[in-house]
Amino acid sequence: MIDVEDLIALVRNYNPATDAALIKRAYSYGQRMHEGQFRRSGEPYFTHPVAVAAILTEQALDDATIVTALLHDTIEDTKSTYREVSDLFGSEIAELVDGVTKLTNLQLSSSEAKQAENFRKLLIAMSRDLRVILVKLADRLHNMRTIKSLPPEKQVRKARETMDIFAPLAGRMGMQQMREELEDLAFKVLNPEARASIIRRFVMLQRETGDVVHRITADIRLELEKAGIDADVYGRAKKPYSIWRKMQEKDLAFSRLSDIYGFRVITGSEADCYRVLGVIHQRWRAVPTRFKDYISQPKSNGYRSIHTTVSGRDGKRVEVQIRTRQMHEVAESGVAAHWSYRDGQRVHNPFAVDPAKWIANLTERFDAADDHSEFLENVKLEMYSDQVFCFTPKGDVVKLPKGATPLDYAYAIHTRIGNSCVSAKVDGLRVPLWTRLKNGQSVEIITAEGQRPQASWVDIAVTGRAKAAIRRSLREEDRSRFVKLGQELARVAFEHVGKKATDKALRTAARTMGIPDTTELLARLGSAEISAAKVVETIYPELANIHPAEEIDAKRPVVGLAAGQIYRRANCCQPVPGERIVGITYRGQGVIIHAIDCPALAEFEEQPERWVDLHWTEGRHPPVHTVSLNVTISNDAGVLGRICTLIGEQKANISDLHFVDRKPDFYRLLIEVDLRDVEHLHNVMTALEAESDVAQLERYRDLSRKP
């Protein structure tokens, strides 16, 4: 648990004028009120309010919000009262704590009529003071991070509520970073197999292609340097849930997704944003229809950025977002940017809109509505900006992704309706099947007996359900032709590598690729859904002719040391190849290598003569670089063995392991793993994160350890 001094230090990072005494009093009061209470994980309950407060410091929020986080469960779960909180901490904080308590008591996943009324109460509470919902969102985020300690049925209920209500609410308020994490944590509970599958595919992709993010980021930086533009460039792989949703909407296999990586360029001015856009379009080919200028046309929540998709290295599509630093603060924090502090003062961000206006308009517009279901649907129309809600002729609501067509609507009702669709009426007018539907429209599907899906429908449909049904129908119609063509393609591909496409070989390939049988494999080959080369590679991976590069001498892994100069890696940050590094000279110890972002370097800022410019030798390093991992696992039979096996499968060696904390349900342990480089570290951590019995995982860095 974070102690009070550390929490105050987090606040002082952005607000040196913080009222430390107030935070100390709130910390002490909350700890005393929650004394003797424990979470399901076995931890003292007060660890939760403290963690919520720490999450809110990341948004640079004011003292009142931080104190509210520390006290947010006192009125509900302890003998504390509203009057007592008001007497001790003032009416403002008491109102905020009471507001959070009322939100906590709303059963948002109850029946529709009750849910609508509670939605109304939630919006009214938000309109009174937005900080209430900021605390509630942080509260939900920490609960989702620690959800493994709950019973399975409660995990599913909380995760569904998070996916349906809190994640979209965070997104509608512009808090995209929080929305992404909430969605992914809920996804981990609701569909762990799909999430683990995507993570495993990421690991395989990185083995095949290397660190794509690092290479593309370096390419963009180089082009900007040539143009004399000062900007920061960041890249990352998209979250598993974001990838899965795109796979479902577009009915694409993981291997066919083109934009699983995203890149951001942060500039100093709006003019530089457009200069960066020009540089990127000159260097890489822009993808038509994938350009959006939210700087000239901002979103209603204040979001501003330029989005463009280009064909990068090896023809891979990558999305690039370009924005200024102030735009980036709003894009990351949304409503929180309206409250954030810097150097003890409220930050005036010209791009931060007041979301209270949106909430006030929403509650005013529907405050007099008597029909609960109508109110709920209208709220959802406002909140779920990435979805479309259409009505059947009977008045039932059909939920579709943004950009959906009447074909998607028809298949959402029933596959039979979709297959026999010939045209559609929208608001009483006949429209083409490729028409993009809008919120609130009434749609009627016209069918005809004997109608069959057309090949062109695949490009018209947007949803995975519609595309899958269309392709299935087309496959069944042309199955025999595709099977025959697939046999010929397989024969040629196998003969090309000196092998035969025997029945057993094809059965093995089908089983390995997760395809039901040989006939289905051949049909997919013939329809070009999979390539013959992929089938061959599945059975004979050695024919891919991949030879590992010669390893670098473990005795001289870095460049920049004097001849014979001794060195070693710092214990505090444990840098590995692939990370930026710097050396610090120590009398009698030679050079100690630190990661460039190691906090321990702060004490040497006034001693530039001790700094040594270093970088890792290019090439493949041996797995001799030890990194500590802080892992929390379920206390169940065989879990530790599976964790060790997973690490071994990544060709990493466990050099030490010891338990830090033992609880009835969980163990926390430090595992020291010998690794090659930062990519190897990423692969190990990704594989561990995919394991359902791993509750938490982080790289452990201990600044108390001497360099």
DSSP 192: H
Co-location of 31 and 169 in the same domain: yes
* 355 in any annotated domain: no
Q: Which two tokens stand for residue 431?
A: 């429209």
CATH of residue 425's domain is 3.10.20.30
One domain for residues 168 and 200: no
Tokens 């046999």 identify what position? 487
CA neighbor of 10 nearest in space, from 47, 67, 56: 56
Task: Out of 515, 544, 573, pick the residue that ends a domain.
Answer: 544
Together in a domain, 121 and 177: yes
- Of 423, 452, 475, the one marking the end of a domain is 475
Whether residue 467 is found in the same domain as residue 501: no
Q: Which DSSP string do the residues of 347-384 spell out, in sequence order?
A: ---TT---HHHHHHHHHHHHTT---HHHHHHHHHHHH-
Within this chain, do residues 121 and 11 fall inside the same structural domain, yes or no?
Answer: yes
Specify if 376 maps to a domain: no
Alpha helix (H) residue ranges in 619-662: 639-649
Q: Hey, how many other C-beta atoms are within 10 angstroms of the C-beta on 487?
A: 16
| Residue 372 counted as domain residue | no
Tell whether 199 and 270 lie within a shared domain: yes
In this structure, are 171 and 275 located in the same domain? Answer: no
Catalytic residues: 76-77
Residues in CB range of 423: below 8 A, 6 or more apart: 430, 431, 433, 446
Give all strands (DSSP E) within 454-576, no chain letters: 558-559, 567-569
Q: Could you tell me the CATH number of the domain that includes residue 658?
A: 3.30.70.260
**Would you give the DSSP letter of residue 673?**
E
Residues sharing a CB contact under 8 Å with residue 223, sequence separation 6 or more, in sequence order: 279, 280, 283
pLDDT at 368: 45
Assigned domain for 370 exists? no
For residue 707, being part of any structural domain is answered with no
Structure tokens at 213: 């993010």
Boundary of a domain, candidates 132, 163, 190: 190
Residues 73 and 164 occupy one common structural domain: yes
Residue 285 falls inside a structural domain:
yes
If one counts the domains in the chain, the total is 6
pLDDT at 374: 47
Examine residue 358 and state whether it is found in any structural domain, yes or no.
no
pTM assigned to the model: 0.54
Evaluate whether 632 touches 668 at the Cβ level (below 8 Å).
yes
Which helix (H) or strand (E) element contains residue 154?
A: helix 152-161
The predicted pLDDT at position 627 comes to 95
User: Residue 411: what pLDDT?
Assistant: 92
CATH code for position 35: 1.10.3210.10
Range of the structural domain that residue 98 is part of: 4-190
**Same domain membership, residue 103 and residue 184:** yes
Q: How far apart are CA 491 and CA 390, in angstroms?
A: 49
- The reply to whether 354 falls in a domain is no
Residues 278 and 239 in one domain: yes
What is the model's pLDDT at position 9?
Answer: 93
Same domain membership, residue 404 and residue 286: no
- Residues with pLDDT less than 70, the chain: 105-128, 208-210, 249-259, 289, 300-301, 312-315, 335-350, 352-387, 475, 540-550, 705-707
Q: How many helices (H) and strands (E) does the chain have?
A: 29, 22
Q: Are residues 165 and 65 in the same domain?
A: yes
What is the number of other CB atoms lying within 10 angstroms of the CB of residue 530? 19
